[in-house]
Amino acid sequence: MTAPLARDKAVAPSRPAPRRRRLDGTLLLVAPAVLLVLALFVYPFVYGLALSFQPYGDNEANGPLGSYIAFFGDARERLSIWNTVRLAIPATAIDVALALPLAYRLRRPIPGQRTLTALFVIPMTLGTVLIAEGMLQFLGPAGWVNKALLAIGIVHEPVRFLHNYLGTLISLLISDFPAVFLLLLGYASGIDPALDRAARVLGASWIQRTVRVTLPMMLPGIAVATALSLVATFSVFPSAVLVGNPAGETRVIAFAAWQAAYEHFDYSEGSAIAIVMGAIELALVFAALSLRVGGYRRLTAEAGR
């Protein structure tokens, strides 16, 4: 946008008067989207933010920050942050670690590439609830997995996969994998295959190529995938309830907000918790994106050359 304008200015002497910028009629096409964002995101957000500073009931005594004080003052409530972090970070790390080699391997057409890619993306079409439903059947005490493990003799009593931390983690891994995989696949297929060949001819072993070329080239993609996955897993709610233990180890922050608002009918504290959750997500996103810093970020656009 700015570049052509600047160039116009440079040629300007031949023009009699600077042209007035006219509003492009097609710009109106963004109006519905803007209205939608205002109505469905900006207004509720501002409303919630304002609400969070209007404490309710006992919290009113502590001034405008009453709801926040209530949340941070209660050890059980504070724990919900930790409960979320210890789900979101491992789920993201495992998904990225699994998706990265697969995406890199599948970046070029190989036999079965389409089938494999489709297979990895299927969970995206299933909702978290459906995934939880499947898990209840599949991973339950009498499910196939436990039956198989018992039959092989690896375990002597059914493994508890469900209604605990593990259940929620597995559900998050399944539901988040497709987005992470697709994103990394996009980045991986943008890497010039000649780079790997050049590194090989220059004498770099497989490990050296991975560390010196592939990973640094993938870093912007890894950062974005990590950020997206962190946000998605941080707002985990259905799987924490359906295949987790929302009264204990998987009492995540989204659940705490829901409980405050809809069980205790304290909308102010519910909003305060939601704002805290948003702030933490933002911090995690910035942390993830800071992976991209260093000399490489500005050159991402040239990656395909």
Partner 1 sequence: MTTAKLKSLRVRELTKSFADTAAVVGFDLEVVGGEFISLLGPSGCGKTTTLNCVAGLLDPDTGAIEIDGRDITRLPPERRGFGMVFQSYALFPHLTIARNVAFGLEVRRVPRAEIEARVARALDLVQLRGVGERYPAQLSGGQQQRVALARAIVTEPALILMDEPLSNLDAKLRLEMRLEIRRLHQALGLTTLYVTHDQEEALSLSDRVVLMRDGVIEQSGTPEELYSQPRSLYVASFLGYRNLMPVEVGEVSGESVSVVANGLPLTGSRRGAVAAGTPAVATIRPKDVQVLGPGSPGCIAAQVELAEFVGDGFELSADAGHGQRFIARTLDRWSVGDAVALRLPPERLLVYPSEAR
Nearer Cβ to partner 1, position 78 or 200?
200
Minimum CB separation of residue 294 from partner 1 in Å reads 8
Label residues 288-304 b or e (16+ Cβ within 10 Å = b).
beeebeeeeeeeeeebe
Nearer Cβ to partner 1, position 142 or 201?
201
Q: How many CA atoms lie within 13 A of 104 on its CB side?
A: 17
Minimum CB separation of residue 92 from partner 1 in Å reads 23
Nearer Cβ to partner 1, position 9 or 197?
197
Separation of alpha carbons 190 and 221, rounded Å: 10
Nearer Cβ to partner 1, position 76 or 305?
305
Separation of alpha carbons 103 and 205, rounded Å: 20
Structure tokens at 90: 């491992």
Nearer Cβ to partner 1, position 213 or 272?
213
Separation of alpha carbons 189 and 173, rounded Å: 23
Q: How many CA atoms lie within 13 A of 51 on its CB side?
A: 18
Minimum CB separation of residue 143 from partner 1 in Å reads 44
Interacting residue ranges for partner 1, rule: CB under 8 A: 192, 194-195, 197-205, 208, 212-213, 216-217, 219, 295-296, 299, 301-303, 305
Q: What is the largest CA-CA distance in the chain?
A: 89
Minimum CB separation of residue 120 from partner 1 in Å reads 26
Minimum CB separation of residue 286 from partner 1 in Å reads 22
